[in-house]
Amino acid sequence: MTILHPRPQFVRENWESLDGAWGFAFDDAQVGVKERWYDGLPEQTPIQVPFTYETKASGIHDESHHATVWYEKEVTLMTDKHVLLHFEGADYATTVWVNGKVVGEHYGCYTAFSFNIADYMVEGKNRITVRVQDSVDTAQPRGKQRWIKDNFGCWYVQTTGIWKSVWLEYVSPIHIDYVKMTPDVDNRKIDLELETNAWHDGLIAEATITFDGELIEKVSAFVKDGVATMQASVLAKGNPWSMKLWNTETPNLYDIHFSLIEENTEIDHVTSYFGMRKIAIEGDKILLNNEELYQRLILDQGYWQDSDLTPPSVSALELDIDKILEMGYNGVRKHQKVEDNRFLYLCDKKGVLVWSEVGSTYSFSDKAVANFTSEWLEIVKQNYNHPSIITWVPFNESWGVSDIHSNKKQQQFTEGIYYLTKAFDGMRPVITNDGWDHTISDIITLHDYEEIGECFTKRYTDREKLLSNAFQHNRFRHPFAKNYVDKGQPVIISEFGGIAFQSESGWGYGNQVKDEASFIERFDKITGAIQALDYISGFCYTQVSDVQQEINGLLTINRKDKVDLSAIRAINERRKN
């Protein structure tokens, strides 16, 4: 399996990247459809996909807002196969034409989508045209993208249009569309559900599991109504001690090959992998594979100097993960973003825990509820199989539900998302509103940028008092929304720190420090205060790297160390469980 594949957990051999040079045009006058730009853009500027026009890496570097943009690329296609046209991410409303004919639309920023273009292509050269509309509407999930002219607070330059990889995949007319893999650690089995793109009689699905090249199990099932379900043992030769668990120390991955068989002939083949990992909650403890887990997380917003939300390369993703591990963290809270699949693959491979979020909306309305719910469920489905993801975090700091403390409709919205998530994924914990004003939540998470360790200790020593809602842990915020109470869940300090060096511009949390010694001293005291609290199940430090005007990273935006990372590691690893 090559890491260069856009989806390392769902690999077919015959694929082609469309990243690189495309034609590009702004459509500020909104005339593109009327003037049939899908038959050919009248004027084109070169752009480097998948970088958005706002970035230097795109070759354009215009940070002003343009609500509608167009792309065009000519490709040569083989017509003896069906062709899937994949977009890993485009913000926000995307329409795609092939040779002047509409092939489909998609709404969202953070999720992948695909179109079967077999009925629209011709032998030889074909023209792919893409229009993306991206407003400043706060009812659409937008995360850390600004919705006014300039950056403000911790909101940054917007991301418009294609911002993740585009690629082609050659498939048979009937093919595997999706697989869902659910590990059952206690019974040493893996539950498998395979979906095909169409209902078709006479199909058999096969799954072959190997570990380090050794055959573990091969199972098969008939495909009925487009679905096949299977269960397989993960024990080598029936040895009850041979199961290889996935954890942060030994992130073992099983390889699995899916085949679709028709009349004794394989018509489709997909290579994937899975990890045998169990995440559970017992009382106020979080368990990984039935052992207590202490989480040492760091917040990661995934921005780069010249490419904003788009990783400049796979090696840049790997560098971030290696730096996170070097600093003594065992996980990452991927904040207000759904990262490239290759990042999740690397976390799976290297044993890095992941909290998965989505970009927030910033208003509450029927439209916002519909937009958010649709995109969130796509995220959960698309990223379900990654063993590194151990927690779902749909809401952050009441963004998009600003009146949740007392507004029943907003409370019910978060409850609805909680239960919808649980309906698809009964394994992972769900944190409904990270930071404060929790409704139904499997973990109680608190944000606190206190800069004095002794104040942390005083504030958090008495758990009952802290979570009583008579207490405001973060100046003006309560742990729970009105009519919700502590039920003994685990507690994590999921944002703290944010220390920044003195600077004439940019900001961090609390008073800025003057030198590295002052930085390490404060980091040591506030981290140590949290580590000393027995009932706290972990922490998440803000943050990996600087992001535009927010200069509170342990690394610069170009990933240069600001402090001695070995000192950070020594402090973080004082408590491991």
CA distance 186 to 130: 47
Q: Which domains does the chain have, with CATH numbers?
A: 15-171 (2.60.120.260), 176-274 (2.60.40.10), 289-497+539-544 (3.20.20.80)
Q: Quick one: tokens of 80?
A: 């003896």
pLDDT, residue 504, reads 63
What is the chain's pLDDT, residue by residue, as a tens digit (577 residues)?
345 899 999 999 999 999 999 999 999 999 999 999 999 999 999 999 999 999 999 999 999 999 999 999 999 998 788 999 999 999 999 999 999 999 999 999 999 999 999 999 998 899 999 999 999 999 999 999 999 999 888 999 999 999 999 999 999 999 999 999 999 999 999 999 999 998 888 999 999 999 999 999 999 999 999 999 999 999 988 788 889 999 999 999 999 999 999 999 999 999 999 999 999 999 999 999 999 999 999 999 999 999 999 999 999 999 999 999 999 999 999 999 999 999 999 999 999 999 999 999 999 999 999 999 999 999 999 999 999 999 999 999 999 999 999 999 999 999 999 999 999 999 999 999 999 999 999 999 999 999 999 999 999 999 999 998 877 766 678 999 999 999 999 999 999 999 998 776 776 777 899 899 999 999 999 999 999 999 999 999 999 999 999 999 999 999 999 999 999 999 999 988 7
pLDDT, residue 241, reads 86
CA distance readout (Å), 332 to 291, 295, 377, 542: 20, 9, 21, 10
**Torsion angle of C-alpha atoms 538, 542, 545, 551, degrees rounded to 10:** -160
pLDDT, residue 471, reads 72
pLDDT, residue 238, reads 75
End-to-end CA distance of the chain: 34
pLDDT, residue 194, reads 98
pLDDT, residue 69, reads 99
Side-chain-side CA neighbours of 9 within 13 Å: the count stands at: 26
84 in Cβ contact with 169 (< 8 Å): yes
